[in-house]
A and B are shown apart, each in its own frame.
Chain A
Amino acid sequence: MYELRFDATTCLSCETNDCLTRCQYMDIDRETAKAEITKIANGEDSFVLHDCVTCYACEEYCPMGNHPFYLIVERQEELDIPPLPRPLIKRGIQTGIPFRGEPEITEATEPALCMGVFSDLMYLIQGKLFEGLSVISMDPRKMFHYFCQLMYLHYARTSVIKERLPGITETIAKHGAREIVFFHDECYGTYTSYCPAVGIDVPFESVHLFEYLYNRLNELNDDIRPLNIKVAYQRPCSSRLSPDKHHFVQDIFDLIGAHSVEREYVDENALCCGGTIQGQRREGSRLRAADVQKRNLEDMVNAGAEVCVFNCPACYNTLAGPVSREGIRPMYMSDLCRLAIGENPAGRR
């Protein structure tokens, strides 16, 4: 089976233990951090396993290239410390079961774009920016054949990920594209971070959507009319798996004349949308999520954001309503880019 590559000795030599000391949801000093991460590495119980909100951020914080978050999740499963109530876990696992027949494998041309489980968001990949892309997973009835499964990190079920993921990569690979742009950066993180971490082969190259958009915008430079609007970016948990691509957010903003507002909860300090936290088993989770959302929103409002830019559809579902009620317009990054080249954004359906 696939084994997580995690080296506990590097944690002992780690000088910062950023993984836990920088956690925004637990208050942990360096000493405790080292002790707890070592306990976790050794397969022992730790309060961290109980209190973790599964925000992925420690994957990014770790300065040693270890995989603290994947480790926490593995241990939660092994020690039966599920972060969510049992029915939600069962529901989540069942959600990923394909049930409407096999997908049609169409020959993809280069480059290809994979929608993953967001086939019903095809309206977001229209217009010049996406012209000429061949699209994988266009049929909402078949989309679970393209489900990257990484969502189960929130469910303490890496076993499910490891069991299903090889089949999924195979289905995607069957389309024959060598380079694949992933609509959702959780898919991107899956194939560029998680798969290598546990030793699953990935027979294609993954391209981050924002890198693709950035390059496309450069090609369409003549069409760009600077937007001159103030934006706040809602960074999703999955982007913690590809911190090297995070700079494209700012790069795109610069290119299209969107001004990032000065915020507290930005970049590495970004806050979770709360979608996962609200359902967690730990006492007070719903109110905790509400509090996180409230702080996040106040931060955007105080910074004067006019648009809240989204990467992840789950964040969008959770936060689009609340941000609109604050008078901030929610928009996917792709729509923002379309606006900048004079197209009509697809907006909310």
Chain B
Amino acid sequence: MDVVVCVKRVPDASGMDALVIDASRKDIERRTLVAKINDWDEYALEAAAQLKEKAGVSLTAVTVGPDEWDDVLRRALAMGADRAIRVDEDMLAADCHAVSTVLAALVRTLPHDLVLFGAQSEDFGSGQLGVMVAEMLGIPHAALVVSLEVGEGSVRVDRELEAGALESYAIELPALLTIQTGVNRPRYISVGGIRRAMKKDLQIMSVSELGLTAEMLAPQAVLERLETPPRGKEAELISGPPEETAERLVGILRNAGIL
């Protein structure tokens, strides 16, 4: 079975107090931030790696981005991917349609029984990409998958709905799933593992090799500007001995009708 996982590189903003919007007002200040693999994609990769451990799966990890994006693919290789392909194109400013066009074109060139995406990205978080690619490929999909089990020619999945309700499907392969966090426990990738992955081949392609032209990648949605949300007005810091603070908190929650 052939599994393709699409991954993305995102800035890690967890270490800062607040994000800073840059001068263009169309992006955040990235220079002080380190990059990492998109959280959701790590779960997708782990799901794929677990499939590979169970059965004879060939695993390919793909991404679209400039050369520093190689590091997320190295990570995928360290997690067990057999192949890694990067389409060399900086699409940070591009819209979801453009990116999904590239990814769909790439996946089409690869054998694929199962295509996995993270359910959304940590930076722009549109949650559209996987679904759009599925549509372009013309294969069935399920979004926000919280468990999956591959059978003969099909995959059984649970999707997460509101308030923790689950929806179960059997989907025929080939299919595309977008993976929710919590579906598994992504393994730790050791620095040694990544170093060993440095020795593995990483394939680079251009958009033109995929037969794509600039018109085909023209944006359908344009980002106008980024803004930080207005500060909330009511924040109350409760301090004091635990017995008292707990009591006050309970009172507040009761009054708000939460308890």
A and B touch in the complex (CB under 8 A): no
Q: Which residues of A contact B (CB under 8 A)?
A: none
Q: Which residues of B contact A (CB under 8 A)?
A: none
